[in-house]
Amino acid sequence: MDVSSEMIHALLPVYLVVVLGTSTLAVGFIEGIAEATAAITKVFSGALSDRLGKRKLLAATGYGMAALTKPVFPLAETLGWLVGARFVDRIGKGIRGAPRDALVADIAPAEMRGAAFGLRQALDTVGAFLGPMIAIGLMWLTADNFRLVFWVAVLPAAAAFLLIVLAVREPPRPPSVAPVRAPLSRAELAKLGRAYWWVVAVAAVFTLARFSEAFLILRAQALGLSLALVPAVLVVMNIVYAVSAYPAGVLSDRMDRGRLLAVGLVVLIAADLVLAFAGGLAAVAVGVVLWGLHMGLTQGLLSTLVADTATAELRGTAFGMFNLVGGVAMLLASVIAGALWDVIGAEATFLAGAGFAVVALVSLLRLHGRLGAAATRDRT
């Protein structure tokens, strides 16, 4: 599914701006709404998986919805249709996301949980860079035929749906982990504990610093990257992301997770500064590499911290709430980024990202003791 989605998403920002004449503010708004939609849906799908005690059904439903939206992208003639398809696609992502992450947490041994989430993140990201690579080849072969690339993206999406339906088996739930009647009730949410909510708070500030990767694509295109090579931005970023995610996960099982997260924030600050002052494509490439490295260091780690601090019977709900807060922050971040780009310029967008990252780093350092204690308690 990542191959399919990234074939489309690698080209969609430029398609919206160059072909349909959409503003970068609208791109930021669309991307933010899309991710916020997915995040909101994850709350309910995660809670439902806790109530039912089942994960696979919801995950398969989400993959199926995403597969059904893919033909809309080549058929759409107006911005409204594209926004609608993106919206439904993200609902599908939201339905599958929290149950899948909860299933990983259910299966993985506590002492190898960082490695498990790092591996999941790495494998997700392999698809994420294969998609743009395929898009580059097809754009070159077809003289920038966006619609044909979008049609080809339908095939891996259908394959992903068939794979989860036919090949994935869900293990039985342990008798000690009972279904929860009302996972989103105030009483049940309170059981998640203070350490979990601190993780959510730190992640929210962090997400404000990490707006949509669509702005990396637009930055490269504005500095002279040809349309056919635009997907290379996501290819480079995701290769670095994929290569670093699993080693970072393994490392997080052997050291303090809060410190490793702080290193990831420092790398994000460096990426934003490089991209803000980039004078050519070489500097953009450095910034994109740093961006991918920060993703590898932090994204699986944040999921691991959620699993560390949430109780087993509420893991679906915990991942759902975590993604809801992150989605709202992503909406704000992407809209702010698009507005700054339109009003002031690209430099302001990335400098604002660096500023939010500094705030997140300071917040993390203040809360470091709480996060470390929670992770250590769970592993022991």
CATH of the domain at 240: 1.20.1250.20
Q: Spell out the residues 6+ positions from residue 130 whose beta carbon is closer than 8 angstroms to its own.
A: 2, 3, 6
Indicate whether 98 belongs to any domain. yes
Q: Spell out the residues 6+ positions from residue 359 whose beta carbon is closer than 8 angstroms to its own.
A: 205, 208, 209
- Token pair listed for 166: 């036919």
Instruction: Encode pLDDT of 225-267 as tens digits.
Output: 777 777 778 778 888 888 998 999 888 888 888 888 889 889 9
Residues of the chain with pLDDT > 90, as a percent, come to 7
Indicate whether 106 belongs to any domain. yes
Cα-to-chain-centroid distance, residue 303: 11
Indicate whether 180 belongs to any domain. no
d(CA 337, CA 34): 15
pLDDT < 70: residue spans in the chain: 31-32, 35-36, 39, 174-179, 367-380
Indicate whether 172 belongs to any domain. no
Indicate whether 174 belongs to any domain. no
Question: Residue 156: what pLDDT?
Answer: 92
d(CA 380, CA 361): 27
Question: Residue 49: what pLDDT?
Answer: 84
Secondary structure in 3-state letters for 44-96 = HHHHHHHHHCCCHHHHHHHHHHHHHHCCHHHHCCCHHHHHHHHHHHHHHHHHH
What's the structural domain count of the chain? Answer: 1
Indicate whether 224 belongs to any domain. yes
Full-model pTM? 0.73
Indicate whether 143 belongs to any domain. yes
Q: Exposure string (b/e) for 327-338, b if CB count within 10 Å is 16 or more?
A: bbbbbbbbbbbb
Instruction: Encode pLDDT of 180-236 as tens digits.
Output: 777 777 777 777 878 888 888 888 888 887 777 777 888 887 777 777 777 778 778
Neighbours of 187 (CB within 10 A): 7
Question: Residue 331: what pLDDT?
Answer: 75
- Owning domain of residue 325: 2-167+185-379
Question: Residue 370: what pLDDT?
Answer: 57
Question: Residue 65: what pLDDT?
Answer: 92
Indicate whether 17 belongs to any domain. yes
Question: Residue 22: what pLDDT?
Answer: 72
